Structure 1
């Protein structure tokens, strides 16, 4: 059976057009037509050179992935897309809708309106092995192509207007929800959802984001956030390859010893070297950096760790999306926000750079079944942690609002048992929550 490439695989499409002597200026026209006519055949695209049609029909498809199932939260603010790839694997993309006018800022009503943030998978599986993440225990399956990454945006855009994009990794959750599926015959699907370390799929990630920020998508880099455990060599070249992008770093502990206990990959990326890389990145990019922090009871949520974190973040301008791991779903932060896989998206405009240079978002962790080795930090501990960061270190700190809890709105491993039509309303999910940030 022939394997086709996605028409959104920019490097492959460009190479094939060049080899055939066809001007690559037609790439944007091809993408625009597919976006406007998602059910089209590539031979239907008008005004292309005659030689382009045979090339497109034999080498490419408008989409190499399909939306298998759609999950809607009961409150209507979160939608998960279960996407089947050409190789038979499944990934998940999550749409979070929120209203930036909710709440107050500086005692005054917020400006803005309804926004949608999309959390995108970059890999099937993950190599990082984070102890708090189900995905990390399952190993790495494969990288997504740049076209498969872009197609998640296209699929989501057919449902709503996407304003913000988040590339993230892992998390956990157990929940029931309503499933909408075109296939009633599947009785068991194993899904690695909202997963992957984006910077471990660097080439495809960069290519996909360049497509998203170019014609016809025209997304602003300021609306795209890449979350990473801290792949230092990739961070060192990220600004030159993708200027203007938001970077989120999953710190999760203020000292190397604790970080290694919960994130084995930290051994390869020592905290001291990571912080140096972040300072260099910020100096070169003049971008704020978001810090992700999952609070785990008795592990990284004590007063000592709060002071250590505060002192660590004093050294450079950083916007901290600080949170406790929560297996329950998505969230919106009161600044301008959201996340893939328990997602939190924090956007702080450049005009606020010197006014608000640190924002910490606290998100309590929900244990993942009986096998979880971690416990939830108490409300009092979260409050005390917040007070230290605010009072002693003048770091703006918020507590995340949950979204999509009833549909496992979080990233990572997803096991979906698709029942027959008679029991569809009670579909059971086991999902892994990704440590989102936005």
Structure 2
């Protein structure tokens, strides 16, 4: 009987909450208009907007310079769909992985990656993923929904707080390399970046932000047209169509010829070089032909290459290539005057490394 009553209460609370409007879906002007239409001063909208975005308020009760009556009014009509760090795990190397609970009960993961000189937030843009990369744990999850701008923004706020608490420095960089394909959630991702870089938000330099895509040509061109100030990375992994399709099946719809056209368009419009992310696997893309084709691909536009250590997802098809193969890539790229970095993974002991985010705790 008691359980039945509790379930009824939860159901009623959910219904009432759904009737309230998400206040962070309103612009500052819309908030100002709302207050004037309800007999208050327009500047009240400025105050509330600052609490929501610059100060990261979790509840209307946090808004201490707003009158109690106004806070009660906001509580009656609006909701702040704030995220909650449901589980935090710390790696031996200082990396932190967060299981982030969303307002509807779904979960995504985000990661704080520290080095000696900076800390980087790796944030998610979708619950699950729209694409089907064979080597990525996130791809095993169906895409349940896109994240809203505030849900992406909240991940950054939470990681900034962790960076200050555990590493004594503010967050310095952001990469959209968590769960999901950012260009498949285009509008919300760009709105989140506007908030992150805006003066009425976090005021972070867009040059410290990198959006990583697996390659959606149409959206890459749209992004170029929109004149972004942030950086673009392409998750490439093979410059041979047949091989890339085997490990990234969506490549059949978005072949490398279309991606090359999109990259040329990107560079013509922005003048900004692209970073290619590239994992080398044993028996898949560790031959001289693979290196030769990558070198040719790198001649399309100015670029640099990050060779990334493979992080196991318990799939026997994929195994880290030998040090000899990695050295072959590095030496051939450098010989052709292509900037190359060999990246070592962090957070592997807590499944926080690239390609490992899959909500295992659920």
TM-score range, shorter chain: 0.7 to 0.9
SS for the counterpart of 1:389 is helix
Number of the residue aligned with 2:361: 416
For residues 303-382 of structure 1, what are the structure 2 equivalents within 5 Å?
303-321=288-306, 362-369=307-314, 371-382=315-326
Is 1:302–1:385's contact at 8 Å kept on the other side of the alignment? no
Q: Distance in 2 between matches of 1:65 and 1:198?
A: 19
Give the structure 2 partner of residue 395 of structure 1.
338
Deviations, residues 157-183 of structure 1 (Å, cap 9, x unaligned):
222221111112xxxxxxxxxxxxxxx
The reply to whether residue 135 of structure 1 matches residue 138 of structure 2 is yes
Aligned counterpart, 1:211: 195
CA shift for structure 1 position 239:
3.1
Instruction: Kindly tell me the number of residue pairs found equivalent between the two proteins.
Output: 333
Residues 19-168 of structure 1 aligned to structure 2 (within 5 Å): 19=34, 21=36, 29-34=47-52, 36=55, 38=57, 40-42=59-61, 44-46=63-65, 54-55=73-74, 57-61=76-80, 63-76=81-94, 78-99=95-116, 114-160=117-163, 161-168=170-177
Whether 1:221 aligns to 2:230 is no
Distance 1:26 1:210, change over 3 A: farther
- Structure 2 SS opposite 1:226: strand
Q: Match for residue 5 of structure 2?
A: none
1:183 matched to which residue of 2?
Answer: none
What is the DSSP-based 3-state SS (H/G/I as helix, E as strand, rest coil) of the residue aligned with 2:360? strand
Alignment TM-score, normalising by the size of structure 1: 0.70
SS at match of 2:359: strand
Are the equivalent residues in 2 in contact too, given 1:6–1:64 (CA < 8 A)?
no
Q: Which structure dedicates a bigger proportion of its chain to strand?
A: 1
Judge conservation of contact 1:213–1:221 (CA < 8 Å) in 2.
yes
Q: Which has the larger radius of gyration?
A: 2
Residue aligning to 1:174? none
Task: Compare the two structures and name the one with the higher helix fraction.
Answer: 2
Matches within 5 A, 1:162-311: 162-168=171-177, 194-214=178-198, 215-241=200-226, 243-311=228-296
TM superposition score normalised by structure 2: 0.83
Change (3 A) 1:159 1:8: farther
Q: 1:292 to 1:27 in 2, by over 3 A?
A: farther
Q: For the residues of structure 1 that align with 2:293 and 2:246, how far apart are their CA atoms?
A: 17
* Aligned-partner SS, 2:145: strand
Change (3 A) 1:31 1:374: same
Taking structure 1 as reference, are residues 401 and 221 closer, same or farther at Cα in structure 2, changes over 3 Å only? same
- For structure 1, the 5+ residue unaligned runs are 100-113, 169-193, 322-361, 418-438
User: Measured at CA, do residues 5 and 380 of structure 1 come closer, stay the same or move farther in structure 2, by a change above 3 Å?
Assistant: farther
- 2: CA distance, partners of 1:52 / 1:414: 36
The one-character-per-residue Cα deviations of 1:363-407 (angstroms, maximum 9, x if unpaired) are 2324322x432222111111112111112x122223213322222
> Structure 1 residues 223 and 25, CA, compared in 2 at 3 Å: closer, same or farther?
farther
| Distance verdict in 2 for CA 1:47–1:278, change over 3 Å | same
SS where residue 398 of structure 1 aligns?
strand
Shift of 1:64: 2.3
Question: Following TM superposition, by how much is the alpha carbon of 1:307 offset from its aligned partner in structure 2, in angstroms?
Answer: 0.8
RMSD: 2.6
CA distance in 2, matches of 1:402, 1:80: 14
Closer, same or farther in 2 for the Cα pair 1:28/1:317, shift >3 Å? Answer: farther
Change beyond 3 A, Cα 1:299–1:83: same
